[in-house]
Every structure is written in C-alpha cells, then in structure tokens.
Amino acid sequence: MLCSRVLCEEESRVMPTELEELVGFLSAPSPQVKKAAVDIVQGLTGSEDGLQSLCSFSDVVIPSLSRVLSEKKEVSEPAAEALINLSQKPEQAAKMVSMGMIKTAMDILYKQGSGITRLLVMLLVNLTQSDDGIASLLQTGDEKIQGLYLMKLVRSFCTSSTETTDDPFEHVGSILVNISKKDSGRKMLLDPKRGMLKQIVRQFDSTNPLRKKGVSGTIRNCCFEAETQLENLLLISEFLWPALLLPVAGSKVYNEHDTSKMPLELGSALSIEREPVGDPEIRVQALESLYLISLQEAGRRALWSVNGPRILQVGYEDEEDPKVMEAFEQVGSLLVHGSGTEEFSTESSK
C-alpha cells in the first residue's frame, strides 16, 4: 500500500504535456501500451493531486477508460478503479452520467464473463448520488423501459450468494438507499406490480452488514410515502414487521403471553435466544420507519395488531444508546397518545 501511495505522489507530478501524452495512450492500438497507460492513470487517481491533474483532461480520460471496461480484466479492472476514484468528485460523476456511463456500466455488468461486477456496482453507487444519476438509472425518460435497470439490480441483489466472502452485489443496497431518497425511486420500489420492495425486505435476514444497512435505509426512505402508500407497505407486513421490530426488540426471550399476540414470524423469533443487531444506525432507521408508519392511524392500528408496542417497551428497557433511546421515545409518544391507552410507555428508571 505504501509503495502505491509513493508511486501516486510521483505520478501526480507529471507535467501537463506529459499527462496529455499519457491520456492519448489510453486509446493506443498496442494492448501493452494501453495497459501501461491505464495502470498509470489508475495510480494517479489514488492521490488528490493526481485526481486534480486528470480532471483537466476528463473529457478525454472518461470516454477512454469507459471504452476499455469491456476488455480483459487486466485492463478493465484498473480502468474501473480509476473511474470509481474520479466519480467521487461530484463534477466528474455528473460528467460521467451525461456521457451515458450508467448505460455502459449496466450493459457490461450483465455481459457474460464480466470480471469486474463488484467494481461496476461501486461505480453505480457513486453515480446515483445525484438527481441526474438517479433519473438515468431509473430510466425515467422512457416509459417503455422505465425501471428495467432497477429491476435487474434488485434481482441480482436478492439472488446472489450472501453467505460467501465474495458478494459482488452487496453494494446494490447503497444504490437502493440512493434512489429511494427520490420520490420517483420510492414509487417504483413500492409498486406492488413490480414487487421489488418485498424482495428487498427479505434480504434483511442476511448476515452481511452492508446488505442489512442497505435494506434498512431503503425501508426507512420508502416509509416517507406512508401517507399515500401505507396499503402497499402493509401488503408485505409478513416481512416488514420482522425487519422493523426484531432489530429493536432487545435481547430478552419473550414469554408466551407476549408472543401469543404476535404473528408467527415475530413470535417464533422472539421466543428463542438471538443475536442482537449491534449497529445503532440500523436500530434508529427501524424506529424512524415505525414512526413514519405510526403517523397514520391505520399504521398505528397495524402496529398494535402485532403487539408492536410491547416489543418496543421491552426493547427500550434494554437500550443504552442515547440516539436510539430518543428514536424509541419519538415512536412511543405517538403510540401512547394515539391509542387511547397507557399500556405502552417509554418511561423507565433510566
């Protein structure tokens, strides 16, 4: 790692005329020359100075790197890494989106034998940080194919192996969080005819923390549509309630009196010892989702129907993180005042 950093610092001192020549070599007919040029450019993107130098030539660099993404892995891999580094700069990411990089990445991603799947998915994460990038991925400009890219990514996310060290689609969770920040993305995910959210929510069972966090953040964003889309959210309640309530249920084994008032998928999970969700951000996101659902009267009724307030009460007693406790209290205030009963309370001896 130290050697590559030194190399980057040396390369970042390349003079503009030399850099111009280097950029020209990215399109060289000789595979050896092209590979050497791609490797040097990739090294340059590893330092701030190198990135700044390349940005001056990005109108040529980006298309040149894009063209080699479909070549052998020894060339396509450093090219993809260079594009990922460049796309961390918002202006360069915007340039890539306007040049059609999302289409290029998706086409190569689903080309048989692509050896850079993980890198292409990471590039898409960076490109969907902007509104234009999200619109490009959602294909909102063409009604006939609108949502096709998203459906492909969701299918790959939900069918690829999650229990191996190599999980090339794990970063799709971050793409889903990005696109669900926009109204158009949320509506697409919540469309019951497409059934995407149902597939995504089921991935919450994964032991991969990246997947878990991606699913949790996506659910939370989709719950901002609860006022108009509550019915569609509750259509997948069999999977939604465990994803939202189990992370905040604490570590206690629940008694039969409590579990008998819950659906099987919740009651059976809470009647045995289980690994708590250690990431406080996921617990906060789950509670924020429950809060957004509980803002609707029908949402509160649905939560009461699965004995949700009891789960929240027990979970709150177990909780030690101040931010998570605050999120518990926010939901609790709705359930206490909206239910006409004082059975659920977040008051305790803490």
Question: What one-character DSSP code corresponds to residue 204?
Answer: G
Helix, strand, coil shares, percent, the chain, to 5: 70, 0, 30
* Residue whose C-alpha is closest to residue 127's, from 160, 169, 83: 83
- Lookup result for tokens 């909780």: 319
Cα 45 from Cα 7, distance rounded (Å): 11
- At 12 the pLDDT is 43
Q: Output the CA torsion 158→164→165→169 (10° steps).
A: -10
Q: Which amino acid is at 300?
A: R
> Counting Cβ atoms within 10 Å, is residue 152 exposed (0-12), middle (13-18) or buried (19+)?
middle
> What is the model's pLDDT at position 6?
33
> What gap in Å lies between CA 280 and CA 331, rounded to an integer?
16
Residue length of the chain: 350
Tens of pLDDT, residue by residue over 81-110, are 999 999 999 999 999 999 999 999 999 999
Q: Residue type for 281, please?
A: E
Residue 8 has pLDDT above 90, yes or no: no
In the three-class reduction of DSSP (H, G, I as helix; E, B as strand; rest coil), residue 274 is classed as: coil
Mean pLDDT of 4-28: 63
Give the up-direction half-sphere exposure of residue 107: CA atoms within 13 A in the CB hemisphere. 9
Distance, CA of 64 to CA of 25 (rounded, Å) = 9
* Higher-pLDDT residue of 282, 5: 282
Nearest-angstrom CA–CA distance, 112 and 135: 26
State the DSSP H helix or E strand holding residue 42, giving kind and residue range, or none if neither.
helix 31-44
Q: Which alpha helices (DSSP H) does 87-223 contain, by range?
A: 90-98, 101-109, 117-127, 131-138, 148-159, 172-179, 183-190, 196-201, 209-222
Tokens, residue 186:
């949320």
CA distance 76 to 71: 6
- Say whether pLDDT at 340 is over 70: no
- pLDDT averaged over the chain? 89
Q: How far is CA 169 from CA 173, 218, 221, 311, in A?
A: 8, 16, 20, 33
Angle at Cα 24 formed by Cα 20 and Cα 30, nearest 5°?
145
Segment 280-300, tens digit of pLDDT: 999 999 999 999 999 999 999
